[in-house]
């Protein structure tokens, strides 16, 4: 019964993405196209997390590496060849309850890096890492762009507001450093 429900959910998410893609193709306004693109990527991340979540049957944990790799693969498909994404997730398990929020966080940080993280030549290279320390998970998403200030008033209206809310849901913290690019770090407890 659970397998059937999982299959139907997967199909429904695919139908939803198809409807949004159709609207994206028909939209004439660039702002509408961008909003639809963001929605397509977010639903893709949800579908990816859902697939990884239910793929770990009979367990309260799942592979963090598999989740990160799946979200990155989904993003690579949607961004195309203009964006290079490298995943460096260590082996280990992740509580299933963290899967959906983490997938959406990764997706939002990837979208932000793809839009604003190009180097001086316009190339976008993003590194995503997930590691586990005693009692703590750490996610880092780094690009080669100019970096940004997390306290910028405009960031509250962007996907970073969603990231902050999801990090709070995980009971974690979110920080941004200007390195030779932007390094976004999410830390949350090992529940």
Q: What is the pTM of this model?
A: 0.76
Q: What is the CATH number of the domain that holds 103?
A: 3.30.565.10
Would you give the distance in Å from CA 111 to the centre of its chain? 8
pLDDT in tens, 58-95: 566 778 888 899 899 888 887 878 899 999 888 888 88
**Does pLDDT of 2 surpass 70?**
no
The pLDDT, as a whole number, for residue 172 is 96
Structure tokens at 66: 């598999």
The pLDDT, as a whole number, for residue 41 is 78
Read out DSSP for 68-120? HHHHHHHHHHHHGGGEEEEEEEPS-EEEGGGHHHHHHHHHHHHHHHHHH-B-T
- The mean pLDDT value of the chain amounts to 82
Rounded to an integer, what distance in angstroms lies between the CA atom of residue 129 and that of residue 89?
5
pLDDT in tens, 101-126: 999 999 999 988 998 888 777 789 99
Structure tokens at 44: 């893709």
**Does pLDDT of 4 surpass 70?**
no
Between residues 92 and 174, which one has the greater pLDDT? 174
The pLDDT, as a whole number, for residue 150 is 67
Rounded to an integer, what distance in angstroms lies between the CA atom of residue 44 and that of residue 179?
29
Given a contact cutoff of 8 angstroms between Cβ atoms, the answer to whether 56 and 26 are in contact is no
Q: State the total domains in the chain.
A: 1
Domain range enclosing 17 = 2-189
Between residues 148 and 68, which one has the greater pLDDT? 68
Between residues 171 and 121, which one has the greater pLDDT? 171
Given a contact cutoff of 8 angstroms between Cβ atoms, the answer to whether 138 and 187 are in contact is yes
The pLDDT, as a whole number, for residue 54 is 64
Would you give the distance in Å from CA 15 to the centre of its chain? 21
Nearest in space to 40 (alpha carbons), one of 79, 5, 67: 79
The pLDDT, as a whole number, for residue 153 is 43
Q: How far is CA 191 from CA 67, 101, 136, in A?
A: 17, 14, 9
Rounded to an integer, what distance in angstroms lies between the CA atom of residue 179 and that of residue 48?
30
């Amino acid at each position: 019964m659970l397998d059937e429900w999982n299959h139907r959910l997967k199909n429904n998410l695919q139908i939803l993405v198809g409807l949004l893609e159709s609207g994206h193709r028909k939209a004439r306004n660039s702002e509408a196209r961008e909003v639809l693109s963001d929605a397509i990527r977010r639903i893709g991340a949800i579908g990816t997390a859902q697939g990884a979540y239910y793929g770990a049957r009979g367990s309260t944990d799942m592979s963090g590496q598999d989740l990160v790799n799946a979200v990155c693969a989904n993003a690579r498909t949607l961004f195309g060849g203009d964006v290079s994404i490298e995943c460096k997730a260590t082996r280990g398990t992740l509580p299933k309850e963290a899967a959906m929020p983490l997938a959406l966080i990764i997706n939002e940080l990837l979208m932000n890096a793809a839009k604003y993280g190009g180097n001086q030549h316009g190339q976008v290279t993003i590194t995503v890492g997930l590691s586990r320390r005693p009692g703590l998970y750490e996610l880092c998403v780094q690009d080669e762009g100019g970096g940004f200030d997390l306290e910028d008033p405009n960031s509250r209206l962007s996907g970073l507001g969603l990231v902050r809310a999801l990090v709070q849901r995980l009971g974690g913290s979110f920080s941004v450093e200007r390195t030779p690019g932007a390094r976004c770090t999410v830390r949350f407890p090992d529940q």
